[in-house]
Amino acid sequence: AFFLSWPGQPLPSGPLEALASLKALGFPVNAPVAALSPDGQFTPVQRHALEMLNCRGVSYATLAPLVEEQTLQRPTLDWDIDGLVFKVDALALREELGATEHHPRWAVAYKFESPQGETKVEEITVQVGRTGRVTPVARVAPVVVGGSTITFVTLHNQGFIEGLELNIGDVVSISRRGDVIPAVERVVEKLTPGTWQFPDFCPACGSCLRKEGAHAFCPQPDCPDQKRFRLIFFAGKDQMDIENLGPETVDTLISLGLVNDPADFFTCDYDKLLDVPGFGPKKVDLIRAGVEKARKQPFVRVLTSLGIPDLGPKLAQLLIESGLKNYLALRDALENRAEELINLPGVGERTVESLKLGLLKPSVNRLIEKLTRAGLVMEAQSPRGPENTAFAGTVWCVTGSFEKFQPRALAEEEILKRSGRVVSAVSGATTHLLAGSGAGSKLQKAQSLGVSVVSEQDFLTALTQQRIPGQGVSS
Ligand SMILES: [Zn+2]
């Protein structure tokens, strides 16, 4: 954003003129692609601006070819764009058009179509996530869309597949929506009759799948795939951040039978890895170092790493700040005082229900016990020690210069540490003025208002005695 002013001259009628003036003054500007008018005619002032900006002035009839041209030029640009924006130039007209609740009426965006490609669905598999949700995924013949090769595309759920009437062997068109996530847009050529059907049983553990809303879930908590993803999640960067312990190492630990639940990361014998090709002593030492570092992660991390639905870092922090500093306190609150939790900001009935469902499970209870025995931090620490309230209720202003407190913010820090308040100007609410040498108008004002004036020496004494200057020793 920028502000322009033209002393003694009329303001530019719109961005076009403003940009031209800026360019004339030597500023680098990003000129529009083109200016459009109904018949391609422009006023002399506008024509001058267009010339200055090296910008084309064209008629509305040129709009379609212009969009086509820009679409073709897109890959040659040095930056990524996802569309074009058309704006009314005249500021007066913008004013008149105004805005709806959501957007101005004087600008409209044209989004380029997502890059697309056609390919054949070779296989549909289902993946079981750490929460048990089962997601169908299509493996397709590799196809390049928007510059990257796509082999796997999520199919979300049975409803999505039915909407497409998709089956294995069909030719589909694939786009990269927002140019990132590949998505199946439609079946282009139906080569296999019928629609692919979800399996009735979990491919990982054979349990009968359960439908919840649009999605299918594996109800077996011991399901090997769920377990695997829970372990990978727990060790992941945004959770316990166990360095040097990525998915491949987790898989190796599982296959050796060393790790069954997250607590095992902290107790298992990593020397057993030395027998596995690719795991030298150096690598194993790095893994152990990562585990030791993670063992000291704060409780809020431990809590969110459990992967309880809805229990992210924000909610975990909120619960801890509300005084629920360990698992027992959380469990007690969920079991006996759920209404209090519902009243926390941003926490509703639904959230509390999913916390109950997640945290009160016997399996989570057992895991918490194991993690405690493994020496993890299972209680949130107060950020400071016990609160020092020696100066509680006092309001300080600090002025002048000091021998021991340079800069004087150091003195202010001492006041804040003792629960006093610090203000920048003396007023009727000020209780103390800490006056160093060279104190001027603030000292006079304090004296006229009857505010206690404290010297550096008295202040130092008050700090060591932990009492408000001019008052008796507080207990
Ligand atoms: Zn399963």
Q: 268 CA distance to ligand 1 centroid (A)?
A: 25
Q: 154 CA distance to ligand 1 centroid (A)?
A: 19
Q: Are strands 56-59 and 421-423 parallel, antiparallel or unpaired?
A: unpaired
**pLDDT tens digits, 398-443:** 999 999 888 888 898 889 888 888 888 898 899 999 999 988 899 9
Rounded to whole angstroms, the Cα distance separating 86 from 32 reads 10
**pLDDT tens digits, 220-272:** 989 999 999 999 999 999 999 999 999 999 999 999 999 999 999 999 999 99
Q: 210 CA distance to ligand 1 centroid (A)?
A: 11
pLDDT band with cut points at 50, 70 and 90 for residue 181: confident
Question: Looking at residue 474, what is its pLDDT?
Answer: 45
Question: Looking at residue 139, what is its pLDDT?
Answer: 97
Say whether the ipTM exceeds 0.95: yes
Q: Averaging pLDDT over each range in 177-186, 192-201, 316-325, which range is the top one?
A: 192-201
Superfamily of chain region 116-216: Nucleic acid-binding proteins (2.40.50.140)
Q: 243 CA distance to ligand 1 centroid (A)?
A: 28
Half-sphere exposure of 238 (CA within 13 A, CB side): 6
What percent of the chain shows pLDDT beyond 90?
68
pLDDT band with cut points at 50, 70 and 90 for residue 179: low
Superfamily of chain region 224-295: 5' to 3' exonuclease, C-terminal subdomain (1.10.150.20)
Q: Are strands 181-189 and 432-435 parallel, antiparallel or unpaired?
A: unpaired
Q: 318 CA distance to ligand 1 centroid (A)?
A: 33
Q: 116 CA distance to ligand 1 centroid (A)?
A: 34
pLDDT band with cut points at 50, 70 and 90 for residue 475: very low
Q: 208 CA distance to ligand 1 centroid (A)?
A: 8
Q: 305 CA distance to ligand 1 centroid (A)?
A: 21
The residues that bridge with 108 in the sheet, in sequence order, are 86
Q: 217 CA distance to ligand 1 centroid (A)?
A: 8
Read off the pLDDT of each residue in 93-118 and give the average, rounded to a whole number: 87
Q: 118 CA distance to ligand 1 centroid (A)?
A: 33
3-state secondary structure 132-157: CEEEEEEEEEEEEECCEEEEEEECCC
Q: 48 CA distance to ligand 1 centroid (A)?
A: 70
Q: 232 CA distance to ligand 1 centroid (A)?
A: 16
Residue 414 sits at φ, ψ, to 5 deg, of: -60, -40
Question: Looking at residue 19, what is its pLDDT?
Answer: 92
**pLDDT tens digits, 145-160:** 877 899 999 999 999 9
Q: 201 CA distance to ligand 1 centroid (A)?
A: 8
Residue 114 in this model has a pLDDT that exceeds 70: yes
Going from N- to C-terminal start, the domains of the chain cover 15-111, 116-216, 224-295, 299-373, 395-465
Rounded to whole angstroms, the Cα distance separating 297 from 316 reads 14
Q: 220 CA distance to ligand 1 centroid (A)?
A: 6
Is domain 299-373 classified as CATH 1.10.150.20? Answer: yes
Q: 346 CA distance to ligand 1 centroid (A)?
A: 33
Q: 205 CA distance to ligand 1 centroid (A)?
A: 4
Mean pLDDT over each residue of the chain, to the nearest integer: 90
Q: 174 CA distance to ligand 1 centroid (A)?
A: 29
Task: Give the CATH fold of the 395-465 domain.
Answer: Rossmann fold (3.40.50)
What is the residue whose two structure tokens read 């207990």?
Answer: 475
Q: 135 CA distance to ligand 1 centroid (A)?
A: 12
CA quadruple 279, 285, 289, 295: dihedral sign:
positive
Rounded to whole angstroms, the Cα distance separating 184 from 176 reads 9
**pLDDT tens digits, 29-47:** 988 899 999 999 999 989 9
**pLDDT tens digits, 292-338:** 999 999 999 999 999 998 999 999 999 998 889 999 999 999 999 89
Q: 431 CA distance to ligand 1 centroid (A)?
A: 67
Q: 99 CA distance to ligand 1 centroid (A)?
A: 52
pLDDT band with cut points at 50, 70 and 90 for residue 384: low
Q: 206 CA distance to ligand 1 centroid (A)?
A: 6
- Which of the pair, 16 or 9, is modelled with greater confidence? 16
Q: 157 CA distance to ligand 1 centroid (A)?
A: 16
Q: 204 CA distance to ligand 1 centroid (A)?
A: 5
Q: 257 CA distance to ligand 1 centroid (A)?
A: 19
- Which of the pair, 343 or 457, is modelled with greater confidence? 457
Q: Look at 65-74, 241-250, 275-284 and tell me which has the smallest mean pLDDT.
A: 65-74
Same fold, 224-295 and 299-373: yes
Cβ-based neighbours of 463, under 8 Å, separated by 6 or more: 414, 418
Helices (H), 165-296: 224-235, 247-255, 281-295
Q: 265 CA distance to ligand 1 centroid (A)?
A: 22
SS3 label, residue 244: coil
Q: 209 CA distance to ligand 1 centroid (A)?
A: 8
CATH code given to domain 15-111: 3.30.1490
Residue 385 in this model has a pLDDT that exceeds 60: no
Question: Looking at residue 408, what is its pLDDT?
Answer: 84
Q: 312 CA distance to ligand 1 centroid (A)?
A: 24
